[in-house]
Amino acid sequence: MPRNNFEEFVRNVSPEPIRYIQRHNRAAHPRGGRTEKRRLPIVKICILASSSAGNSAFIATDKTRVLVDAGLSRREIAKRLAGIGEDIRRLDAILITHEHSDHTTGVAAIVKASNRSIPVYLTHGTARFIEWGECSPAVESFQAGCSFSIGDFDVASFTLPHDAEDPVGYTLTAQGIKVSIATDFGYVPDSIRVHLRGTDLLLLESNHDLEMLRVGPYPWSVKQRVMSRRGHLSNEVAAGFIENDLDTGVSTLVLGHISEHNNHPELVRSAGLKALNGRALFTKLVVAEPGVQSEVFCY
Ligand SMILES: [Zn+2]
Ligand SMILES: [Zn+2]
C-alpha cells in the first residue's frame, strides 16, 4: 500500500496521526488473554442514515469502500460522504439488503452517475424488484445465505424474516474486524444469532415502541404488518436480544431504523441502556437519530 494513501485515509478518519491500540488476544489466551501492541488495522464505519425514512451505511478499509443500502438520494449520500472526507465516485461496491424504497431510493442514480461500473450485490429475488431505469449496472446477484469477497472484505449474507421478496442482512469482516448490519426483521431466529457472533460493531434494529405503535396514526392493517414476525423489531424485542444474546465482544452497538411516528430516540436509548446494564458489558451504546448521520467509528 502506498504510504501516502494510507496516511490520507487515516487523516480522513481522525486528525490524530496513526494510532496504536491494545487489543485483547483472546484467541491466543482463551482464559484471560494478554494485551499486545500492534498497528491499528483500520476499518472505518459511518451510518449515513438509519430510520424508516432512509438507510445507508458506509464501511471501508484504506483500499475498499462499500455502501450497504442506498435509501437516500444520490445527492444526499454524496453530501454525507463528503462530510466524512469520502468521495461517492470512489465506491467499490453497493450491497442491497432488500427492495424497499428506504433502502434503494438512490442506488440507480449512483450507478448511473458513476463513470466506472460499480457492482451492486443483492439476492436473486431482490434483483427482480429494482427499477434500474436507463442504467445497466454490474449486478452481482446471489443466493441468500451465500458468502463472498469484495476487496478487503469477507461478506456473509443471512436471511431476514421481513415482508420483502428475498431480504438479507450482512456481516463484513476485514483484518479481523467484523461489522454486522441487521435491520428490517420481525423476530430474531437462531440463524441471525449465529451470524452476529464475534461482531465488533453491530447496527441492530429498534424500530418501534409497542405502545406508541398501538395508539399511533397507522391503519390497523399496517400496525399488524409492522408487529408481525415478518415486520420490524420493537424496542422490547431488541432489548430482549441485548439482554440474552448480545455477543460479549460487541464494542459498539448502534440501535437504528427508528420509526419517526412510532418511536422516540430517548425511548430507544433507555431500553437499550437498561438491557445493557443487566449484562455488565463495556459496550458503547449509540442511538441512530432519524435524519442524522452517525459519528465515524474506527477499528
Ligand atoms: Zn423493509
Ligand atoms: Zn427499512
C-alpha cell read off for 34: 494478554
Q: What was the pLDDT predicted at 169?
A: 98
**243 and 285 fall within a common domain:** yes
Q: Which ligand is nearest to the CA of 163?
A: 1
Report CA 194 to chain centroid distance, whole Å: 17
User: Are 68 and 170 within 8 A, CB to CB?
Assistant: yes
Q: Reply yes or no on whether the pLDDT at 127 is more than 90.
A: yes
Q: Does residue 186 carry a pLDDT above 60?
A: yes
**Which amino acid belongs to residue 8?**
E
What's the 235 CA to ligand 2 centre distance in angstroms? 15
Confidence of residue 19 (pLDDT cuts 50, 70, 90): very low
Strand partners, 171: 156, 180
Claim to verify: residue 130 and residue 250 sit in the same structural domain: yes
Q: How many domains, the chain? A: 2
- Do residues 89 and 219 both lie within one domain? yes
Q: What is the DSSP letter of 290?
A: T
Q: Give the model's pLDDT for residue 17.
A: 32
CA of 162 to the centre of ligand 1 (A): 7
Pairwise pLDDT comparison (32 vs 155), residue with the higher score: 155
Ligand nearest to the CA of 56: 2
pLDDT of 78 strictly over 90: yes
**How many A from CA of 126 to the centre of ligand 1?**
11
The pLDDT assigned to 5 comes to: 54
Whether 23 and 121 map to the same domain: the answer is no
Whole-angstrom Cα distance, residue 186 to residue 223? 12
Same domain, yes or no: 152 and 184: yes
Edge-to-edge strand ranges of the sheet holding 44-51? 138-142, 119-123, 93-95, 65-68, 54-60, 44-51, 296-298
Q: How confident is the model over 208-262, as pLDDT tens digits?
A: 999 999 999 999 999 999 999 999 999 999 999 999 999 999 999 999 999 999 9
Average pLDDT, the chain: 89
Is the same domain home to 137 and 20? no
Amino acid at 281: L
Task: Supply the pLDDT for residue 40.
Answer: 54
Is there a contact between 291 and 53 (Cβ–Cβ < 8 Å)? yes
- CA 111 to ligand 1 centroid distance, Å: 21
Question: Does residue 12 sit in the same domain as residue 111?
Answer: no
Same domain, 32 and 56: no
- Nearest ligand (C-alpha, residue 100): 1
Strand pairing category for 65-68 and 54-60: antiparallel
The answer on 34 and 53 residing in a single domain is no
Segment among 32-36, 68-72, 142-146, 274-278 with least mean pLDDT: 32-36
Q: How far away, in angstroms, is 123 Cα from ligand 1 center? A: 14
- 232 CA distance to ligand 1 centroid (A)? 8
- Give the Cα separation of 160 and 166 in Å (integer): 8
Note whether 73 and 130 are same-domain residues: yes
Host domain of residue 29: 1-40
Least confident interval from 80-84, 88-92, 269-273, 280-284: 280-284
What is the predicted pLDDT for the residue at 30?
38
The CATH number given to whatever domain includes residue 72 is 3.60.15.10
Q: Taking residues 153-174, what's their average pLDDT?
A: 98
6 shares its domain with 69? no
pLDDT (tens digit per residue) in 30-74: 344 444 455 555 899 999 999 999 999 999 999 999 999 999 999
Whether residues 159 and 30 share a domain: the answer is no
What is the reported pLDDT for 15? 36
Those residues whose beta carbon sits under 5 angstroms from the ion ligand 2 are 102, 184
From the CA of 258, which ligand is nearest?
2
